[in-house]
Amino acid sequence: MANKIPRVPVREQDPAVRARNFEEVCYGYNEQEAVLEASRCLNCKKPRCVEACPVSIQIPAFISKVAAGDIKEAARIISQDSSLPAVCGRVCPQETQCEGSCILGVKGEPVAIGKLERFVADWSRQNGVRFADKAPANGIKVAVVGSGPAGLACASDLARWGYDVTVFEVLHKAGGVLQYGIPEFRLPKQEVVEYEVENVRRLGVKIETDVVVGRTVTVDDLFDKEGFKAVFIGSGAGLPKFMGIPGENLNGVFSANEFLTRNNLMHGYDPTYDTPVFSGRRSVIVGGGNVAMDAARTALRLGSQVTVVYRRTEKELPARVEEVHHAKEEGIEFRLLTNPVEILGDEKGWVRGIRCIRMELGEPDESGRRSPVPVPGSEFEIETDTVIMSLGTSPNPMIARSTPGLETNRRGCLIADEDGATTRPMVFAGGDAVTGAATVILAMGAGRRAAAAIHKALQSEK
Amino acid sequence: MYKILRKKFLTPAICLMDVLAPRVAQSAQPGQFLIVRAGEKNERIPLTICDYNREEGSVTIVTQLVGASTRIICSYEAGESFADVVGPLGQPSEFIHLSPEALRNSRYLFIAGGLGTAPVYPQVKYLHQAGAKVDVIIGARNKDLVILEEEMRAVCDHLYICTDDGSYGEKGLVTDIMGRLLDSGEKYDQAVAIGPMIMMKFVTLKGRQYGIPLIVSLNTLMVDGTGMCGACRVTIAGKTRFACVDGPEFNAYDVDFEEAMRRQGMYRDIEKEKDHQCHIGLHQ
């Protein structure tokens, strides 16, 4: 009767304490807790969790090894499908993926698959367990543009199959959004991100940073001058959106990307680093996604009093439930059904407040979502000296513009089929560059599918 | 790591370095810039490309000591390496798209303010080599800030130099010389001004009086320099643009200079504090 055991709770840092530091909020399971939680898994014959995992990790197989105390073997099973388990165990929206499909979730609580994956990955790191099985080198060069989750997943698979893979990264550190976007308190950089990137390097993948594909080199150069036989584009969706309301260029208004990049990639919160990060006495975050929660919780840790402004209701908040819960525990205020109409400045051009209008939910639109409509005459002001715009991002047009034959759709996303094949031969793409901003794990799934398609295309060329 | 091949101080406060960065050198065009991160804990700083040598694989940067970060960059010696050199970034100058014939028949006026002489140089050199007629005005606060005079003289038709205090060249502002040239009937197909924001603003006011086509290169705050953050956003003809990907060059008459200058000063207090700490460090 394994399923009668309640889901093992995970230990977390006290909200009052963690609201003032950048250390990881969730401590994760210890071995005893993990073995107990793993014993809840029913080891289904047709595991729905595996189907719901975008990279198809053999979940019951690894969990049964955890239950048996063979953590090393559990790690080996995960490593066949994921090169970033310590990342995914932390940031995947498991509630809508693996755990959302767990049969135990129908009547009770699903198995804590994410926390178990994280435990296995952390244990492997602490015990120096690595897996780097690979096929003999075949000498065929493949270029990967972008070292985010899509690029790393694609590069790992290709390297395992013997390809000579070079990843080109625009920033000075590999990892994409794992480096610049997701804060330290959710995803430790040195300990987790850099370790897992190092594991990808150990497969033989070369990572060249500071290369702006579209400026430093073009995709054409990669084929014609550098001898690459295929190119995978995993350049993400890093272009921030603004609202286009008056006052958006006042001093004190930031995109969430700028605010988070200064803090995460450039370590703005650490006084021993040079890059300044401006944090006001009060901050208003506009938006309701995971990025908005990250920006809000970062501003809070920098000493600001924080309000999140979102135009729909709590039910529609696109952020993970766990993140919203953490944000509330830490003392962040939510102003729902509220939309900014103007940012107000003082005589020196700095933000002094934000004028908002109340919203109500109208009729469902074609997507089935009830769209918010402004309530006439309901404008009000919130006093603040910082506004962080977190309205989503779209793909950066630089690569598409510099690559003849590579087509994009109306939203600036690269056009690619299920396998990642773009409109240009031997150029594949995946992740946010194709879908627009989505999740780490969907990007990894797309990277893996493209790797398989590249392998197939290159083998049939022989 | 990006090795510094050569270093020399052009003036006590301005330092020129040739840095080994083969990929950047291979692709650099006039009008573009790069980003340097000196070491692991330092900022990403946008610097203009002053020259490039594709054979050697080097790019030339010119840095003026204005704060903590530029002080660190200038403290590196030949043989040492920067952690990161990223580029080329931004759009190249529009004239690189002109046909050889169009270039041969065109006449340009460049107005360089202080350190702005460095990014003007590759543009003038490119145009001169293409057979265009190019006049250059260099303005600086004082003699110590006049740079690249000989280099510039070698690639332009007429060079005019002025300083605010009259310590070198004629006493006065670049706009004085600009007005005099245009008053005397000199005709230019295009003027380009690069320098401090305030100087570009006044050149723009002057240019408007004469109706001369004018381009400016905006030196905004930047973080990544690749279009992912919007720190460098400016209002151009009423629309928000990112200087790092849409610019840095824009039609001068479309630029909201007041906003651009205000945004440039956003971190001034924090910068002053850092520079202050840095000074203390130096004297210990």
How far apart (Å, rounded) are the C-alpha atoms in residues A384 and A387? 7
- Whether A172 and B86 lie within 8 Å, measured CB to CB: yes
Q: Pull the structure tokens for residue B15.
A: 């330092």
The per-residue pLDDT for range A412-439, each reduced to its tens digit, is 999 999 999 999 999 999 999 999 988 8
Q: Is B232 annotated as a binding residue?
A: yes
* Residue A414 burial class via C-beta count within 10 angstroms: exposed 0-12, middle 13-18, buried 19 and up: buried
Residue A194: which residues within 8 A CB-CB, separation 6 or more?
A173, A175
Q: Pull the structure tokens for residue A310.
A: 């979102």
Chain B touched by A402 (CB under 8 Å): no
Helix (H) or strand (E) holding A394: strand A393-394
pTM: 0.93
Chain A partners within 8 Å of B39 (Cβ): none
How far apart (Å, rounded) are the C-alpha atoms in residues B17 and B62? 6
Chain A partners within 8 Å of B226 (Cβ): 170, 212, 238, 396, 398
- Whether B228 and A396 lie within 8 Å, measured CB to CB: yes
Give the closest of A251, A252, A262 to B223, CB-based. A262
The per-residue pLDDT for range A109-158, each reduced to its tens digit, is 999 999 999 999 999 999 999 887 788 999 999 999 999 999 999 999 99
CB pairs below 8 Å between A and B: how many?
106
| Of B104, B91, B103, nearest in space to B215 by CA | B91
- Strand positions, DSSP E, chain B: 2-11, 14-20, 33-37, 44-53, 58-64, 81-82, 84-89, 107-113, 133-140, 158-163, 170-171, 190-194, 214-217, 233-236, 239-242, 249-251
Give the closest of B240, B266, B274 to A274, CB-based. B274
Q: Given the structure tokens 């003809």, which residue do they identify?
A: B237
Q: How confident is the model at residue B272 (pLDDT cuts 50, 70, 90)?
A: low
How far apart (Å, rounded) are the C-alpha atoms in residues B42 and B27? 25
Which of residues A239 and A461 earns the better pLDDT score? A239
State the pLDDT at residue A132. Answer: 74
Whether residue A306 contacts residue A328, with contact meaning beta carbons closer than 8 Å, is answered with: no
Q: Is B255 annotated as a binding residue?
A: no
State the pLDDT at residue B279. Answer: 43
- Worst-scoring range by mean pLDDT, A85-89, A171-175, A325-329, A370-374? A370-374
State the pLDDT at residue B282. Answer: 39
The per-residue pLDDT for range A252-280, each reduced to its tens digit, is 999 999 999 999 999 999 989 999 888 88
Q: How confident is the model at residue B273 (pLDDT cuts 50, 70, 90)?
A: low
How far apart (Å, rounded) are the C-alpha atoms in residues A339 and B147? 51
Estimate the crossing angle of helix A149-160 against helix A440-461, to 10 degrees.
40
Q: Is B156 annotated as a binding residue?
A: no
Q: Please give the mean pLDDT across all residues of chain A.
A: 94
**Residue B211 backbone zone (phi > 0: left; psi -120 to 50: alpha; other: beta):** left
- Measured CA to CA in angstroms, residue A352 lies from A250, A303, A344, A347 at distances of 10, 18, 6, 10
Section A172-185 average pLDDT? 96
Give the closest of B23, B240, B265 to A249, CB-based. B240
State the pLDDT at residue A279. Answer: 80
Q: Please give the mean pLDDT across all residues of chain B.
A: 92
Q: Pull the structure tokens for residue A3.
A: 């399923």
- Whether B84 and A242 lie within 8 Å, measured CB to CB: no
Maximum alpha-carbon separation in chain B: 60
- Other Cβ atoms closer than 10 A to B102: 13
How far apart (Å, rounded) are the C-alpha atoms in residues B45 and B271? 13
State the pLDDT at residue B67. Answer: 86
Q: How confident is the model at residue A365 (pLDDT cuts 50, 70, 90)?
A: confident
Whether B277 has a pLDDT exceeding 60, the answer reads: no
Please report the sign of the dihedral spanned by the C-alpha atoms of residue A75, residue A79, residue A83, residue A87: negative
How far apart (Å, rounded) are the C-alpha atoms in residues A151 and A149? 6
| Length, in residues, of chain B | 284
Whether A1 has a pLDDT exceeding 50, the answer reads: no
Long-range interactions of A214-218: CB distance < 8 A, separation 24+: A214/A398, A214/A399, A214/A401, A214/A402, A214/A403, A215/A398, A215/A402, A215/B27, A215/B32, A215/B87, A215/B88, A215/B89, A216/B23, A216/B24, A216/B27, A216/B86, A216/B87, A216/B88, A217/A168, A217/B23, A217/B27, A218/A402, A218/A403
- Whether A242 and B240 lie within 8 Å, measured CB to CB: yes
Walk across the sheet containing B249-251 and list its strands: B170-171, B158-163, B133-140, B107-113, B190-194, B214-217, B249-251
- Worst-scoring range by mean pLDDT, A13-27, A80-94, A101-115, B270-284? B270-284
Whether A224 has a pLDDT exceeding 90, the answer reads: yes
How far apart (Å, rounded) are the C-alpha atoms in residues B165 and A232? 57
Section A394-417 average pLDDT? 92
Q: Pull the structure tokens for residue A79.
A: 């490593």
Estimate the crossing angle of helix B268-283 against helix B68-75, to 10 degrees.
40
Whether A300 has a pLDDT exceeding 80, the answer reads: yes
Q: How many CA atoms lie within 13 A of B271 on its CB side?
A: 14
- Measured CA to CA in angstroms, residue B132 lies from A36, B53, B92, B113, B129 at distances of 79, 22, 17, 22, 7
**Phi, psi dihedrals of residue B170, rounded to the nearest 5°:** -90, 155
**Phi, psi dihedrals of residue A459, rounded to the nearest 5°:** -70, -35
Exposure b/e, A434-459, CB count within 10 A at least 16 = b: bbbbbbbbbbbbbbbbbbebbbebbe
- Whether the upstream peptide bond of residue B88 has omega within 30° of 0, thus cis, is yes
Residue B10 corresponds to which amino acid? L
Q: How confident is the model at residue B150 (pLDDT cuts 50, 70, 90)?
A: very high
Chain A partners within 8 Å of B72 (Cβ): 274
- Measured CA to CA in angstroms, residue B84 lies from A86, A172, A174, A202, B6 at distances of 28, 7, 13, 23, 17
Which of residues A368 and B162 earns the better pLDDT score? B162
Residue B114: which residues within 8 A CB-CB, separation 6 or more?
B64, B139, B140, B141, B145, B195, B196, B199
Q: How confident is the model at residue B281 (pLDDT cuts 50, 70, 90)?
A: very low
DSSP B111: E
| Of B21, B22, B15, nearest in space to B36 by CA | B21
The per-residue pLDDT for range A310-342, each reduced to its tens digit, is 999 999 899 998 899 999 999 999 999 999 999
Chain A touched by B223 (CB under 8 Å): yes
Whether B44 has a pLDDT exceeding 50, the answer reads: yes
How many helices and strands, by DSSP H and E, does chain A display?
19, 18
DSSP per-residue letters across A11-71: EE--HHHHTT--S-SEEE--HHHHHHHHTT----SS-HHHHHSTT---HHHHHHHHHTT-H
How far apart (Å, rounded) are the C-alpha atoms in residues B33 and B52? 11
Chain B touched by A171 (CB under 8 Å): yes
How far apart (Å, rounded) are the C-alpha atoms in residues A40 and A121? 20
Whether B284 has a pLDDT exceeding 50, the answer reads: no
How far apart (Å, rounded) are the C-alpha atoms in residues B17 and A422? 42
The per-residue pLDDT for range B26-37, each reduced to its tens digit, is 999 999 999 999
Section A452-461 average pLDDT? 93
| Of A83, A396, A419, A388, nearest in space to A212 by CA | A396
DSSP B12: T
Chain B touched by A347 (CB under 8 Å): no
Whether residue B248 contacts residue B219, with contact meaning beta carbons closer than 8 Å, is answered with: yes
Which of residues A48 and B279 earns the better pLDDT score? A48
Chain A touched by B37 (CB under 8 Å): yes
